[in-house]
C-alpha cells in the first residue's frame, strides 16, 4: 500500500514476478491532495502487470454537528470533546461527507476514462481500453479552440474500435484542419468528447465517459509584443514620496517611493487595486504540507521563517520619466521578522530573499512588471514564487484563459482543459473541511477582474514568461492558515490575488511524509518572470488585450 510509482513499475518488470499488482491503498485524498495521480496511471496503462488500485478514500468521514448559533457544520476528531483524537485524519475522501465531489474527482475520472486520445507527430491515436466492449455504443465529437475561442465543432465519424485496439488519424486529414489552417490564434486545441448513445442501468444517454484535449502544432513563432511608447501620453506628478501618474479620467496610478509599491490604482474613477504589488513565497499549508513531523515541508518552512517574511525597501529609483512612460526600479529584501516590522536590516543572516522589481508604466495604461528573485540558497523548497496584490471587493467577476473550470495545480491538472472560463470569486473557493491552500487555477495565460459595470484590471504572462498559477479569494492566506474549520473563515475587506510564476505541487502519494515529486518542487534558486497589467473597461475584453500582445 502507498507504493511509489517507481516501486510498482520495478515489481511489474521483475521477470520472476508473475502476479498482477493492485494497490490496496494509494493517493491519499486528504484535503487539497491527489497530485501525481496522472503519473501513476501513465505507468499503469503502459506497464503489463499493473492493474490499478484503490484510492483512500471515497468520502470525508466528517459528522454533521449543530453549532451554538443553530448552523450546521462538518465536525471531526476533538469537536465532540473526545480525547485522544486524530483531528481531521478522518477527512480524506474524494467527496465531502454529503458526496459532493472534491475537485480531484475530475482528475480520477480523466485517468480512468476508457477512451484515450493522444497526438504524436502527425498522428492522432484513439485507443479503446475496454477489454470486452467496442465503441459501437459511443458518439465521438470534436471541437477546435483558438486562444480559447471556439473555431468549430462537429461529429467525428469513426469505425467501431475493437476492445484493446486503437484507430489512427493523420491530424491534417481531420474535419478540423481547415479551421486550423485559417486560424490566426497563437494556440489551437482539439478536444475529443465521447458520449453514450443509449441509456444504461447506471447513467442516462449523453453521459460523457471520456474527454481529451490535445494541442495542435503551432503555425508560427510567437514574437513577444513590445508596448509602443506612442500609444498615449500621461500626466506625472511627484509630491513627497508619492508619484501620481494618470491619463485624463481613464486611469490613475499612485506609487509610494518609500514603500516601493503601488499605493492605489483607479480605472474610470473606480479604485481597483488597493495594495501591492508585492513578492510572495508563502502559502496556507495543506494537510500534505504538514505530513512528516520534522521532515515535513511545513516544519522546514517555519524553521526557515518563510511564514514570517517582511519586505523592506532597500532602494527605489526612477530610472526614466517622459510624458509617455515612467520606469521605476525597486530592490526589496525579504527579512525573517520578529513580532514588529523591522525598519532596517540588523542581521544579514535574516535576509531570505533579494527581489528586484522593475515597473514600466506607459501612457496607454499598461504596466510591465519584471521580477528577479534571488533566494537564500539555504532555504528549503519554496511553496510558491510569485506576486500578491489586493483588489476592491466589487471586482468579483473573474475571467481567465487557462486551465479550468475547476481547481487545479501543477501536479493535478491533466483533466483541466485549457479554455476561457468565468466565475465569481466566491464560487472559486473550495470549502475543504480543514482550510488551507485552495482554489488555484493552473497555466493561466491571462486573467481579468471586473465589477458588474465591466471596470477592472487585466493581467497576463509577458515577454516569454510561462503561464501562471492564479488564485483569487475573499480569504487571505493568513486566514486560511488560521482557521481549523471552513465555517470559521472570515472574509477580508478585499480580494487577495496571487499570480505565481511557479507553485509547488500539492502531492498526495501519502499525507504523512513529504511526497511532492521532485519535478513539482521549487528549489531556492534564481527566478525571473514578467507580468503585464492594464486597465480594462466594458468596452474592451481580456481576449482582445491578450491578442494585442501576440
Per-residue pLDDT band at 350 (split at 50, 70, 90): confident
The pLDDT confidence band at residue 479, using thresholds 50, 70 and 90, is very high
pLDDT tens digits for 436-446? 999 999 999 99
Adjacent-strand bridge partners of 502: 385
Specify which residues 414 forms β-bridges with.
Answer: none
pLDDT tens-digit readout, 9-18? 999 999 999 9
Looking at the structure of the chain, the number of domains it has is 3
pLDDT at 492: 96
Identify the CATH number of the domain in which residue 182 sits.
2.60.40.10
Per-residue pLDDT for 339 more than 60?
A: no
Query: Distance between the two ends of the chain, CA-based, in angstroms?
Result: 48
- Which of 82, 102, 122 is a domain's end point? 102
Q: Contact 256/239 with Cβ under 8 angstroms? A: no
Residues 297 and 413 in one domain: yes
Asked if residue 157 belongs to a domain, the reply is yes
Residue 229 has pLDDT above 70, yes or no: no
Whether residues 240 and 294 share a domain: the answer is: yes
Q: Are residues 503 and 405 in the same domain?
A: yes
- Among 234, 186, 259, 187, smallest CA distance to 534 is for 234
The DSSP bridge partners found for residue 370 are 358, 530
d(CA 383, CA 281): 6
Mean pLDDT of 329-338: 91
Q: Judge if 242 and 198 occupy the same domain.
A: no
pLDDT digits (tens, 9 = 90+) for 25-60: 999 999 999 999 999 999 999 999 999 999 999 999
User: What are 457's strand-pairing partners?
Assistant: 449, 535
Q: Evaluate whether residue 185 is within a structural domain.
A: yes
344 band by pLDDT with thresholds 50, 70 and 90: low
Question: Stretch 158-167: mean pLDDT, rounded?
Answer: 97
Question: E strand or H helix at 313, and its extent?
Answer: strand 309-321
| 168 and 39 within one domain | no
Q: pLDDT band at 225, cuts 50/70/90?
A: low
Domain-embedded: residue 70: yes
Q: Which of 192, 215, 238 is the last residue of a domain?
A: 215
* Statement to judge: residues 372 and 503 lie in one domain: yes
pLDDT at 343: 59
Q: Kindly state whether residues 465 and 379 are assigned to the same domain.
A: yes
Name the band, by pLDDT with cuts 50, 70 and 90, for residue 142.
very high
Q: Which of 526, 517, 524, 434 is nearest to 482 (CA)?
A: 434
For the segment 298-318, what is each residue's pLDDT rounded down to a tens digit? 999 999 999 999 999 999 999
Based on the domain organization, do 125 and 68 belong to the same domain?
Answer: no
- Assess whether 330 and 274 both reside in one domain: yes
Asked if residue 139 and residue 78 are part of one domain, the reply reads no
- Asked if 325 and 414 sit in the same domain, the reply is yes
For 53-101, write each residue's pLDDT tens digit. Answer: 999 999 999 999 998 888 899 999 999 999 999 999 999 999 999 999 9
CB 312 within 8 A of CB 342: yes
Quickly state the pLDDT bin for 470 (edges 50, 70, 90): very high
pLDDT given at position 276: 79
Q: Is the pLDDT of residue 340 over 60?
A: no
Q: What range does the domain containing 133 cover? A: 113-215
Domain final position from 72, 102, 132: 102
- Whether 107 is in a domain gets the answer no
Task: Please tell me the distance from the alpha carbon of residue 448 to that of residue 483, in angstroms, as a whole number.
Answer: 29
223 belongs to a structural domain? no
Give CA–CA dist 368/361, Å, rounded. 7
Same-domain check for residues 434 and 519: yes
Q: Half-sphere exposure (CA, 13 Å, Cβ side) for 66?
A: 3
Amino acid at each position: 500500500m502507498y507504493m511509489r510509482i517507481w516501486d510498482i513499475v520495478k515489481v511489474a518488470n521483475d521477470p520472476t514476478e508473475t502476479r498482477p499488482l493492485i494497490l490496496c491503498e494509494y493517493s491519499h485524498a486528504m484535503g487539497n491532495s491527489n497530485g501525481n495521480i496522472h503519473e501513476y496511471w501513465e505507468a499503469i496503462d503502459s506497464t503489463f502487470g499493473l492493474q490499478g488500485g484503490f484510492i483512500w478514500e471515497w468520502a470525508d468521514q466528517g459528522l454533521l454537528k449543530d453549532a451554538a448559533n443553530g448552523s450546521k457544520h462538518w465536525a471531526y476528531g476533538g469537536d465532540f470533546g473526545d480525547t485522544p483524537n486524530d483531528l481531521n485524519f478522518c477527512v480524506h475522501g474524494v467527496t465531502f461527507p454529503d458526496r459532493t465531489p472534491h475537485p480531484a474527482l475530475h482528475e480520477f475520472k480523466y485517468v480512468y476514462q476508457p477512451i484515450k486520445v493522444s497526438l504524436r507527430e502527425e498522428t492522432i491515436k484513439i485507443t479503446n481500453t475496454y477489454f470486452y466492449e467496442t465503441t459501437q455504443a459511443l458518439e465521438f465529437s470534436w471541437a477546435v479552440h483558438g486562444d480559447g475561442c471556439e473555431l468549430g465543432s462537429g461529429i467525428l465519424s469513426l469505425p467501431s474500435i475493437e476492445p484493446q485496439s486503437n484507430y489512427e488519424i493523420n491530424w491534417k486529414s481531420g474535419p478540423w484542419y481547415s479551421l486550423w489552417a485559417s486560424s490566426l490564434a497563437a494556440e489551437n486545441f482539439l478536444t475529443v468528447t465521447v458520449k453514450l448513445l443509449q441509456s444504461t442501468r447506471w447513467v442516462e444517454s449523453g453521459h460523457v465517459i471520456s474527454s481529451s484535449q490535445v494541442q495542435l502544432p503551432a503555425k508560427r513563432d510567437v514574437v513577444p509584443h513590445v508596448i509602443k511608447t506612442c500609444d498615449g501620453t500621461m500626466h506625472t506628478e511627484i509630491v513627497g514620496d508619492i508619484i501620481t501618474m494618470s491619463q485624463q479620467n481613464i486611469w490613475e496610478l499612485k506609487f509610494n517611493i518609500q514603500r516601493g509599491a503601488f499605493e492605489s490604482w483607479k480605472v474610470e474613477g473606480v479604485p481597483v487595486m488597493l495594495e501591492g504589488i508585492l513578492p510572495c513565497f508563502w502559502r496556507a499549508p495543506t494537510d500534505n504540507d504538514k505530513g512528516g513531523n520534522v521532515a515535513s515541508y511545513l516544519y522546514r518552512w517555519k524553521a526557515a521563517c518563510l511564514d514570517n517574511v517582511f519586505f523592506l525597501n532597500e532602494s527605489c529609483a526612477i530610472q526614466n520619466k517622459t510624458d509617455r512612460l515612467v520606469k521605476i526600479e525597486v530592490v526589496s529584501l525579504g527579512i525573517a521578522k520578529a513580532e514588529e516590522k523591522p525598519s532596517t536590516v540588523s542581521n544579514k543572516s535574516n535576509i531570505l530573499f533579494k527581489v528586484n522589481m522593475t515597473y514600466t508604466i506607459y501612457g496607454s495604461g499598461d504596466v510591465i512588471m519584471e521580477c528577479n528573485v534571488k533566494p537564500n540558497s539555504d532555504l528549503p523548497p519554496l511553496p510558491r514564487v510569485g506576486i500578491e496584490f489586493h483588489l476592491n471587493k466589487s471586482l468579483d467577476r473573474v475571467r481567465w484563459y487557462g486551465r479550468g473550470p475547476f481547481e487545479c495545480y501543477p501536479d493535478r491538472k491533466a483533466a483541466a482543459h485549457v479554455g476561457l472560463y468565468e466565475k465569481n470569486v466566491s464560487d472559486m473557493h473550495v470549502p475543504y473541511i480543514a482550510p488551507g491552500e485552495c482554489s488555484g487555477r493552473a497555466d493561466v495565460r491571462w486573467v481579468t477582474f471586473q465589477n458588474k459595470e465591466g471596470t477592472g484590471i487585466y493581467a497576463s504572462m509577458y515577454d516569454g514568461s510561462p503561464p501562471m498559477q492564479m488564485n483569487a479569494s475573499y480569504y487571505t492566506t493568513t486566514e486560511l492558515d488560521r482557521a481549523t474549520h471552513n465555517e470559521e473563515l472570515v472574509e477580508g475587506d478585499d480580494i487577495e490575488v496571487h499570480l505565481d510564476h511557479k507553485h509547488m505541487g500539492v502531492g498526495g502519494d501519502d499525507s504523512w511524509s513529504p511526497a511532492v515529486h521532485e519535478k513539482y518542487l521549487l528549489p531556492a534558486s534564481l527566478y525571473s518572470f514578467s507580468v503585464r497589467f492594464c486597465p480594462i473597461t466594458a468596452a474592451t475584453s481580456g481576449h482582445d488585450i491578450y491578442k494585442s500582445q501576440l
